[in-house]
Structure 1
């Protein structure tokens, strides 16, 4: 298996990309599902499946676009 000697700036950029993506996913996981306050909902169970979808109430984002 050949070993490639990638330039250090390319390796640093790739690491920064992975760190940024991880930070984005962590932040997105705590955001409400709606930017504006909205009531939650729950669907009826569908025939031939155990999946039942729904969402809790969403408080929306704050004035600055962050969490309320």
Structure 2
């Protein structure tokens, strides 16, 4: 969690992607069109619950919260 000078909670989610299979002969790399993240944040009584739809996949969350004045 990181405190910042804003008014909203900001959540950045990153997952471990597939291992790079390397370049093919003409220098192009495979780009996956699947594997989007399923992240849900719910707020109730000044508490935010963040969940992901992945039980077996590492998801790294960076959460920015408003700095207390």
Structure number with larger C-alpha Rg: 1
TM-score by length of 1: 0.26
TM-score by length of 2: 0.26
Higher helix share: 1
